[in-house]
Amino acid sequence: MQSKIKNFVESIVVVAIFLVLIQTFLEDYAVLAGWSWDFRKILIFTGLGFDLFFSIEFLIRIFSALMKGKGSAYFLEGKGWIDFLASIPLLVLNSGPAFFAIITGNGFFFGMGGLLNILKIVKAIRIARILRLLRILKIFRQIKHTGSVMAQRHIAKITTLSITSFVFTLLVFSIFSGLISLPSAEDKFINHQIASISNFLDNIKSENQSLSVANFSDYEADLLIIKNNGTTIFTRYDNPFYSTVYGPGDFQYFKTTEYEFFFDVRELAQIQATSSILFFLVVVMSVLVFLIYYSPHFAMTITDPIHVMKRGFLESDYNLEVEIPQLYQNDDIYKLGALYNDNYLPLKVRETDTSSGHTRLSIDDFEDLFK
Amino acid sequence: MSQEEEKAKLFVSRLLSNPTLLTLNPLQKEDQIMSFMDLNADQLKPTLTSNAFFLGKSWFEIHKLLIKTLRILIDESLFPGIQRQLYEKIDFRFISILRQQNWPQEKIKEEVLNLIKKIVSSSDGRKDFSGSYNAISRQIVDKYVNSIFTNHTYIHFELTKVQRLKMSKEEVKDMINTSLLLRPSIYVFSSNMNKDSSSGIITQTFAEKVEETLIKEIPALPEKLVKSAVRINLSFEDHKYLQATSRLTSIINSMARSFKADMKIDRGASSPEKSWFSIARKNYKYFGWDIKMLDELYRFSAENNW
């Protein structure tokens, strides 16, 4: 009964991993395709739901392992570190803040905007999102792609190493590029907007306000709203349009003593989403290549010859040779296979040809033999 | 049938109905069950000698009764199989070519059948006949002779130019199949045959004695055929002028003996016949086979993935 419940829960986890991969892709695709804010909001909520689910899953697993005194075994050998990195940090750094921003309304972001640059916050959140790619390793772990335990371990090892290296390289590079102020699209965007605002404020001293606003809005296509002492003096669209299309992170906010400015930054988000989709596809493709190409190659060139030789050693009437592909004939395993074919099998055939006394029948096969 | 015989029949029938024996020929099944009884004697003995089974009988007597019952049951399926092979799969018209005169086929078939009955009445003959039975029932000769006659290389040259067989492909198949049936006749004419117990090779003197007796016993069989059949048991290493049909039949018989219809070919393993020929090429001296024939047969099995 307990194992049935465990299997059921494990099945739910597998389904959840598949779904979260779709959700991860859709979250970026929605930005790229310009889907409505309502739909993107649902995706953020589901993202939070998945992060919560995987955080709980990790906590249950680590707690259960600790109770059995196998905490480090689960975290290290059992790849619990993947469960950890793909759950709690995402909840704390990615979906949690995004959800908080939505439920507290735009004011949260505007408030933050006064202290920090919104684009920097969005970027930090996006960096944390890279960890989501590790979830692909979770699903890989669930797939029994070959019958050999050795093959499964080796493929899992190489896949984990390559994907983790890729994800951590991206993560570390993203963090360091921010710390050492490498040129970025965000900085270029902000600097351009600050320069435009500065230019507008200079012009307004010499021109009348209407003309300055008209020139500024013509010149700056990303400008959405200008407020003067709390009163809207320019808006590109009406309010229902803003509430349908724009969400927190889709606009950049600047404030001076008299004026407030709102700029459209969806194009920037689309550039970031393109990178995210590219990273996602690289990881998915890598896993698929390991699974579809490398795993059978490993089985064919390592475990299959071993299996054939093992059967030959164990079974008296199994005398099939190891098939040695010309391309790999210099591999150690095939050199061993050649020795098996050339030395062991001929001797075995001579021996078994003369000695009887081997049978495929076993006394255990006959439950009713004496009834 | 006595109560003990009925119990023995029931016991042996249960063994025979085991699914692992399903694809084996009757003689292979018999061999498997005999080995099973020998290997598991310690476990079988206490139960079979108890009140519920064969009370008052020694294990030796019980074993003897079980083997006798096993043979009866095996013969029930073996003889119809042999008759089918003789009457449906082999055409004895090739004998007329060898003798240069017509002989009634029915008479030949009857005499060969009687000889086979004598062969399978001995334990060694039964064991040895398994290869012949397999080779004919699985039509192993047919596919290799077809390849030989398509390729026209070494074996074809040996059959048609060296042995000078003026026969069609089908007649060569019939001659080889008949040689296969007659091959274990060495067990009929002597229990002390100077046979190498490991390689199965006999001496020329013994072979000549068997040939002499066989020709006397079955005058319908031409000398060439008798020699072809009996000399299968000679080593090509020692007798370089051995007939091509003997050399070829010897190889096919040995391969058919290890043939298993239900063998699962694992990924990464060579096919069963290719494996067999490859190993045989390394053991050719030991078993007295013609290496050039083995090379050619190996090539056929590899090309056709047999």
Phi-psi category of residue A181: left, alpha or beta, with phi > 0 → left and psi -120 to 50 → alpha = left
CA dihedral A190, A191, A192, A193 (to 10 degrees): 50
Q: What does the domain layout of chain B look like in residue ranges?
A: 1-88, 90-304
| Residue B15 at interface with chain A, using a CB cutoff of 8 Å | yes
Mean pLDDT of B148-164: 95
- Please check whether residue B112 is in contact with residue B178, taking contact to mean a CB–CB distance below 8 angstroms: yes
Q: Using CB atoms, which residue from A321, A359, A363 is nearest to B35?
A: A359
Mean pLDDT of B65-76: 93
Angle at CA of residue A272, ends A267 and A276, nearest 5°:
140
What does the pLDDT read at residue B170? 95
Residue of A nearest to B271 (CA): A320
A38-47, A140-149, B151-160: range with lowest mean pLDDT: A140-149
Kindly report, residue by residue over A323-360, the tens digit of the pLDDT.
999 999 999 999 999 999 999 999 999 987 644 556 66
Q: CA B245 to CA A255: how far, in whole Å?
A: 104
b/e map of B39-63 (b: 16 or more CB within 10 Å)?
bbeeebeeebbeeebbeeeeeeebb
What rounded mean pLDDT belongs to chain A? 85
Q: CA A101 to CA A108: how far, in whole Å?
A: 6
DSSP letters along A88-101, please?
Answer: HHHIIIIIHHHHHH
Cβ–Cβ below 8 Å for A349 and B279: yes
- For residue B264, the 8-state DSSP code is -
Higher-confidence residue of A99 and B268: namely B268
Confidence of residue B221 (pLDDT cuts 50, 70, 90): confident
pLDDT beyond 70 at B105: yes
Phi-psi category of residue A34: left, alpha or beta, with phi > 0 → left and psi -120 to 50 → alpha = left
What does the pLDDT read at residue B213? 87
Kind plus residue range of the DSSP H or E element containing A265: none
One-letter-per-residue 3-state SS of A290-358: HHHHHHHHHHHHHHHHHHHHHHHHHCCCCCCCECCCHHHCCCHHHHHHHHHHHHHHHHHHHHHHHCCCC
Which chain A residues touch B199 with a CB distance below 8 Å? Answer: 353
- Please check whether residue A86 is in contact with residue A132, taking contact to mean a CB–CB distance below 8 angstroms: yes
Confidence of residue A302 (pLDDT cuts 50, 70, 90): very high
Going across the sheet that includes A259-264, the strands are: A231-235, A223-228, A259-264, A251-255
3-state secondary structure at position A269: helix
Q: CA A201 to CA A207: how far, in whole Å?
A: 10
Q: What six digits make up the tokens of A321?
A: 């040779």
Confidence of residue A102 (pLDDT cuts 50, 70, 90): confident
What rounded mean pLDDT belongs to chain B? 88
| Residue A356 at interface with chain B, using a CB cutoff of 8 Å | yes
Kindly report, residue by residue over B4-44, the tens digit of the pLDDT.
888 889 889 989 998 888 888 999 899 889 988 888 888 88
What does the pLDDT read at residue A132? 77
Residue found under tokens 């093959």: A151
Kind plus residue range of the DSSP H or E element containing A58: helix A37-67
Confidence of residue A294 (pLDDT cuts 50, 70, 90): very high
Whole-complex ipTM: 0.86
Q: Using CB atoms, which residue from B31, B266, B282 is nearest to A311?
A: B266
Confidence of residue A39 (pLDDT cuts 50, 70, 90): very high
What does the pLDDT read at residue A57? 92
Q: CA B191 to CA A188: how far, in whole Å?
A: 103
pLDDT beyond 50 at A28: yes
Cβ–Cβ below 8 Å for A361 and B32: yes
How many A-B residue pairs are in contact by the CB < 8 A criterion? 98
Length of chain B: 306
Kindly report, residue by residue over B168-204, the tens digit of the pLDDT.
999 999 999 999 999 888 888 765 555 555 556 778 8
Percent of chain A with pLDDT over 90: 39
pLDDT beyond 90 at B261: no
Mean pLDDT of A12-37: 90
Amino acid found at B173: K
Residue closest to A213 by CA, chosen among A222, A203, A190: A203
Percent of chain B with pLDDT over 90: 44
| Residue A3 at interface with chain B, using a CB cutoff of 8 Å | no
Cβ–Cβ below 8 Å for A319 and B275: yes
A33 to chain B, closest Cα gap in Å: 47
What does the pLDDT read at residue B196? 57
pLDDT beyond 50 at A107: no
Which chain B residues touch A305 with a CB distance below 8 Å? Answer: 268
Q: What six digits make up the tokens of A145?
A: 């792609």
CA distances from A349 to A260, B95, B218, B302 (A): 92, 36, 36, 20
What does the pLDDT read at residue A17? 87
- Alpha-carbon torsion (A230, A236, A240, A243), positive or negative: negative
Angle at CA of residue A166, ends A160 and A172, nearest 5°:
120
Residue closest to A139 by CA, chosen among A262, A18, A258: A18
Kindly report, residue by residue over B263-281, the tens digit of the pLDDT.
888 999 999 999 999 999 9
Amino acid found at B75: D
Q: What six digits make up the tokens of A89?
A: 């940090």
Residue of B nearest to A301 (CA): B268
Confidence of residue A165 (pLDDT cuts 50, 70, 90): very high
What does the pLDDT read at residue A355? 46
What does the pLDDT read at residue B192? 54
pLDDT beyond 70 at B129: yes
